[in-house]
Chains A and B, each alone.
Chain A
Amino acid sequence: MATPAIRFDALTKYYGPVVGVEALSLEVGQGEVFGFLGANGAGKTTTIRTLLDLLRPSSGSASVLGFDAQRQSLEVRRRVGYLPGEMPVYPELTGAGYLSFLAAIGPTAVSTTRLDSLFRRFDVSDLDLRRRMREYSHGMKRKLGIIQALMTDAPVLVMDEPTSGLDPLMMEAFAETVDEIARAGRSTVFVSSHILSEVERLCQRIGLIRAGRLVAVRTLSELRASAPRRVTVTFSQPVCSEPLDACEIVTREPQRWVLDVEGPLGPLVASLSALPVADVQVAPFTLEETILRLMGEPHS
């Protein structure tokens, strides 16, 4: 079995009494585009920073391509392209100077061809590169951040809220870039986000983190398949029987039930056959609703 690109093994990080991440275990395969989804403060950035040895775990471990994030952190960092959630800049440097500095301390030489293609893709002009970064907008800083993470062609890309502050065109450019990386299969992409549509657009598999705990890891198709449906049943006269145990009752009135049903609808339909049903409406949950439900549950 191939070495996972990223592996967390019972990773736990406490900040004093505050839980950053607790008992997080996860594997991301090589070449995979993985979305790490959670609300603000859920523990996404803590997890990522532990991977890069910026934070030291309270217990457990993390590894990249088989290299331990703490004991072999230089080997890990040689193989990772990283975009921090907050884009730090040297305000007195020009964009070109910034990238040159980061290339100089990077693991490998940066190809001019690669850089030029990234500049074109993210619409960064020569004029932009000559301006000092203190004059940059948030979106422009973010574009430079994405470029510096991608410029070394690292086998593992770790990106914390990559499209925050980007306009829709640049979000699409970023998505195209990730698609290309996924198609080429050379790099693994680990994207953290609190925006479902972004993760849905980019990722093959999603991990959901809530209050420092990983609550679910599913592929998008698994999530869609497991999505419950909301069934509204209207009766021609009041009924007093109980709905099936397998259904979750949202509202229950004498002539109207609203139920959330997971799995096949057959048993529900069978149980309704003896009742004076006037109408049945079935509405599938959106992926967003499914994820919100998972995030709201203590475990899944």
Chain B
Amino acid sequence: MIALVARSLGRVAAPLGALVAVLFGFQVALIAVAASFSRSGEFERLAQIVPAALRPALAPALTSFGSMAALGYFDAIIVLMVVGWAIYVATEPAADVESGLVDLVVARPVPRHRLITRSAVVSFGSTLALTLAMGIGTLTGLWLLAPPGVAWPEGRLLWLMISHLTLLSWCVGAAALAVSAWTRRRAAALAVVSIASMALYLVDSLGLWWSPMEMAARLTPFYYFHGGPLIAGTSDPAQNLTVLGIATIVALAVAYWRFETRDL
């Protein structure tokens, strides 16, 4: 198992390292921007210029230095980057089938489920590495750049942001693992899960602005991670994390079942 995980990690080490650096750097840069706004007293004005439709999601993050430091965890691009990474790594079983590497591995006494476990470990582990790198980036930025006397974001808030983003990525990654346990082409698995994720993200965004879509939005994993309500303290983190965790477990179970029963 260790050899399988090490091999998979070896294949993604370079892009993972680059992504860690980008996300770490972004968090540090965000603190620098927040420090600049704080020094020039722009936070109140900033919250007012956010369009009304986006206020529930974004405005709470733009009211203080502490809350802006958390913005980097739920910015759409950042969320989709982290989720996209989880999807890419989780489609490894399909890539193994496509390239024929599965023949070499499974022809040895390696149970099939280990390939799913390996990809889950690498997808979940590397996603956790990304979100932890973001957390370290935030703390580094705060230590280096926070103006004296401003309130830092609460540790609990940072922890909630990291845990929500991590679990959201795991949930989508597990879905990607399930799809890749079905397909013979990595590109097919990537396309299906990426397009579905984008569509679900849009459904969730529409649900924020338009109440008839809210019920549909509840069916998307993105519904369970909105940074604004977390900052404002109006969402239920335990419920969000439970829903995301259960969805992750269900998708993983489907992946194990399908890979065990399919032709390779």
Chain A interfacial positions (CB closer than 8 Å to B): 49, 52-56, 74, 77-78, 80, 82, 84, 86-88, 90, 92-93, 101-102, 104-107, 148
Report B108-120 CB contacts with A as 1/0, cut-off 8 Å: 1111000000000
B107/A101 in contact, CB under 8 A: no
A102/B104 in contact, CB under 8 A: yes
4 new A-B contacts, CB < 8 A, other than A56-B263, A93-B10, A106-B108, are: A54-B106, A56-B261, A77-B109, A87-B100
Chain B interfacial positions (CB closer than 8 Å to A): 3-4, 7, 10-11, 99-111, 261, 263-264
Q: How far is the CB of B6 from chain A (nearest CB, A)?
A: 8
How many A-B contacts at CB < 8 Å in the complex?
Answer: 60
**Chain A residues with CB below 8 A from B109, complex form:** 74, 77-78, 106-107
Among B3, B111, B261, the residue within 8 A (CB) of A101 is B3
**Chain A residues with CB below 8 A from B261, complex form:** 56
> Which of A88, A104, A105, A106 has the most chain B CB within a 10 Å cutoff?
A105
Distance A136 CA – B105 CA, assembled complex (angstroms): 20
Among B3, B7, B101, B106, the residue within 8 A (CB) of A52 is B106
Closest to B102 in A: A54
* Among all A-B residue pairs, the 4 with the closest Cβ atoms: A88-B100, A104-B3, A82-B107, A84-B103
B7/A101 in contact, CB under 8 A: yes
**Chain B residues with CB below 8 A from A56, complex form:** 261, 263
Once A54-B264, A77-B109 are accepted as A-B contacts, the answer to whether A49 and B103 lie under 8 Å apart by CB is yes
Distance A84 CA – B96 CA, assembled complex (angstroms): 14
Q: How far is the CB of A247 from chain B (nearest CB, A)?
A: 47
Distance A270 CA – B109 CA, assembled complex (angstroms): 63
**Chain B residues with CB below 8 A from A52, complex form:** 103, 106-107
Interface of A is mostly: loop
Q: How far is the CB of B121 from chain A (nearest CB, A)?
A: 15
**Chain A residues with CB below 8 A from B101, complex form:** 88, 90
Once A54-B264, A55-B263, A55-B264 are accepted as A-B contacts, the answer to whether A84 and B107 lie under 8 Å apart by CB is yes
B11/A88 in contact, CB under 8 A: no
- 10 residue pairs A–B, Cβ–Cβ below 8 Å: A77-B106, A77-B107, A84-B104, A86-B100, A88-B100, A90-B11, A92-B10, A93-B10, A105-B105, A148-B104
Distance A49 CA – B100 CA, assembled complex (angstroms): 12
Distance A86 CA – B105 CA, assembled complex (angstroms): 14
Q: How far is the CB of A107 from chain B (nearest CB, A)?
A: 5
Closest to A78 in B: B109
B106/A53 in contact, CB under 8 A: yes
Closest to B103 in A: A84
Among B3, B100, B102, B103, the residue within 8 A (CB) of A105 is B3
A54/B7 in contact, CB under 8 A: no
Closest to A53 in B: B106
**Chain B residues with CB below 8 A from A74, complex form:** 109, 111
**Chain A residues with CB below 8 A from B111, complex form:** 74
Once A54-B263, A55-B264, A56-B263 are accepted as A-B contacts, the answer to whether A80 and B107 lie under 8 Å apart by CB is yes
Once A84-B100, A88-B99, A101-B3 are accepted as A-B contacts, the answer to whether A54 and B10 lie under 8 Å apart by CB is no
> Which of A55, A84, A93, A148 has the most chain B CB within a 10 Å cutoff?
A84
Q: How far is the CB of A82 from chain B (nearest CB, A)?
A: 4
Distance A107 CA – B107 CA, assembled complex (angstroms): 10
A102/B108 in contact, CB under 8 A: yes
Q: How far is the CB of A143 from chain B (nearest CB, A)?
A: 15
Distance A49 CA – B110 CA, assembled complex (angstroms): 15
Distance A88 CA – B95 CA, assembled complex (angstroms): 12
**Chain B residues with CB below 8 A from A55, complex form:** 263-264
**Chain A residues with CB below 8 A from B105, complex form:** 105
**Chain B residues with CB below 8 A from A90, complex form:** 7, 11, 101
